Amino acid sequence: MLYKKLSELTDEERNKLVGRGGGDLADVGETVAAILKDVKHNGDSALREYTKKFDGADIEAIEVSKEEIDEAAKSVDPELLANLEFAAANIRKFHEAQMPQRIWFIEVSPGIELGQKFTALESVGAYVPGGRASYPSTALMTIVPAKVAGVKNVVMCTPPGKDGKVNPLTLAAAKVAGADHVYKIGGVQAVAGMAYGTDTVMKVDKIVGPGNVFVTSAKMQVRDMAEIDFPAGPSEVLIIADDSCNARMAASDMIAQAEHDPNAVSVIVTTSEKLAEAVKVEVLKQAKETLRTEIVNTSLENAAVLVADSMEECIVFSNEFAPEHLEIMVEDEDAVLEGIEHAGSIFVGNYAPVPVGDYASGTNHVLPTAGYARLYSGLNLAHFMKSASIQRISKQGLETLKDPVISLAEKEGLQGHADSVRTRFE
Ligand SMILES: NC(=O)c1ccc[n+]([C@@H]2O[C@H](COP(=O)([O-])OP(=O)(O)OC[C@H]3O[C@@H](n4cnc5c(N)ncnc54)[C@H](O)[C@@H]3O)[C@@H](O)[C@H]2O)c1
Ligand SMILES: N[C@H](CO)Cc1c[nH]c[nH+]1
Ligand SMILES: [Zn+2]
């Protein structure tokens, strides 16, 4: 774990932290491309082959039947099921609040009404990770908003365990969220299945959901066949803190992200040297106590405790980092919030740890990583919808537009365009 003054970072150290590519996507590009190609040409048999190779599972049926899903949901502890439903209700509420007016108009001048019509995508594939941990929460985060938007066909892919079965809680979450089909395939092969379609797997218009570096590379390579949400790779947290931050809490939030993946990144940047010292000690202590020692220790090689000269310097660094999750644990929260330009999801105050958003507050945990928060918003209702612009124009309205349109069209040498307007007045 790096421990340094922010101003003394070498270029190499800074580049490793900022825009590091979520576990170096480029390194896996060729491996991923070969799997995509194989699935494209060999369909279900390639899906079975890679499931055997990467998940150690022999699967006959690729789709999980409705009966299996119902049975799995029944087998889940009722309290856990109630907690899933609690989380789903909050996610639903937050995403329903994002619903645009389905159709609206403004009259920009007499007889010229302009508007938009929003419609849902027809089919969406939700990737739910399942390699190092299973992610029932991701089933909720991807499927609930799709259904709120009105997507007709929502399919889910997640890798099976060695016994060829999908985690029952993930199946229960798929049911609570309203998935239409569930396939027990993961990794690159799942992305390929949903992008190209196979005898079993439905081809979808868009693939959403997070995954490791292989899944993320696969999503980025199939964009000619299916749109994607954004690169949502190995998890990251950046904490901006001052003396008011509790070191034990900050350290536990760093460990929480570190336990996701060896490529996860946990960083704290603070104006307080005293806090920095305490966080370093706490992180190392908590790393020894974690259940996921190997992943956490590898991931902590990417971690950093950085001391800044001012809060302004922390904010500049944060905007350069563009973290997936940003925690603000400072006295003057509003001032820091005001300065933030790029972050996937922001958690304000000592009592807003990232895991509340991971599971149950209602915000979406599928978020851009590796600096992509500079370009993309986290998963939200708009990812499942699109809009058409509309114009409703009367003869009086066209009168206003006639001369500019005819003159511009003629200047472009497009006589037909000009005549299409002119003819309406002849
Ligand atoms: N950014 C976000 O929004 C967000 C949200 C949740 C989780 N995550 C991230 O999702 C990831 C989950 O990763 P995971 O590994 O646990 O599950 P995963 O489902 O993403 O990946 C497992 C699959 O990876 C494939 N794979 C593994 N090694 C391979 C290899 N050598 N070659 C080709 N394919 C290979 C296998 O097919 C396997 O089924 C973590 O990085 C976590 O941080 C991100
Ligand atoms: N922190 C993850 C996003 O990077 C989401 C998650 C799901 N389950 C637990 N955590
Ligand atoms: Zn998490």
pLDDT digits (tens, 9 = 90+) for 343-370: 999 999 999 999 999 999 999 999 999 9
| pLDDT at residue 17 in the model | 87
Contacts 24+ apart (CB under 8 A), 23-30: 23/212, 23/213, 23/233, 23/234, 23/261, 23/263, 24/213, 25/213, 25/216, 25/217, 25/220, 25/231, 25/233, 25/370, 27/213, 28/213, 28/214, 28/217, 29/217, 29/221
pLDDT level of residue 66 (50, 70, 90 thresholds)? very high
Please spell the DSSP secondary structure of 20-40, one letter per residue. -HHHHHHHHHHHHHHHHHHHH
Residue 273 has pLDDT above 70, yes or no: yes
* ipTM for this prediction: 0.99
Better-scored residue on pLDDT, 114 or 14? 114
Atom 4 in ligand 1: which residue has the minimum CA distance? Answer: 210
| pLDDT at residue 22 in the model | 52
Atom 7 in ligand 2: which residue has the minimum CA distance? Answer: 358
**260 Cα: distance to centroid of ligand 3 (angstroms):** 7
Better-scored residue on pLDDT, 222 or 20? 222
| pLDDT at residue 18 in the model | 85
Write out the residues surrounding ion ligand 3, Cβ under 5 A: 358
> 130-186 pLDDT, tens per residue?
988 899 999 999 999 999 999 999 999 999 999 999 999 999 999 999 999 999 999
| Catalytic residue status for 325 | yes
Q: From the alpha carbon of 141, which atom of ligand 2 is closest?
A: 7
Which of 227, 236, 259, 325 is flagged as catalytic? 325
| pLDDT at residue 131 in the model | 84
pTM given for the model: 0.96
Residue 7, number of CB atoms within 10 A of its CB: 10
**Average pLDDT estimate for 90-116:** 98
Residue 372 has pLDDT above 90, yes or no: yes
| pLDDT at residue 20 in the model | 59
The Cα–Cα gap between 219 and 53 comes to: 20
Average pLDDT of the residues of the chain: 96
Q: Which two tokens stand for residue 155?
A: 């399919």
Residue 253 has pLDDT above 90, yes or no: yes
| pLDDT at residue 25 in the model | 81
Sign of the CA dihedral 20, 22, 28, 30? negative
Q: From the alpha carbon of 235, which atom of ligand 2 is closest?
A: 4
- Reduced to 3 states (helix: H, G, I; strand: E, B; else coil), residue 241 is strand
- Cβ(353) – ligand 1 distance below 6 Å: no
| Catalytic residue status for 365 | no
Domains and CATH numbers, the chain: 26-231 (3.40.50.1980), 235-368 (3.40.50.1980)
Residue 49 has pLDDT above 80, yes or no: yes
Residue 23 has pLDDT above 80, yes or no: no
Query: What is the CB < 6 Å shell around ligand 2?
Result: 135, 137-138, 235, 324, 354, 358, 365
Q: Which two tokens stand for residue 102?
A: 């389905």
> 225-246 pLDDT, tens per residue?
999 999 999 999 999 999 999 9
Residues of the chain with pLDDT > 90: what percent?
Answer: 96
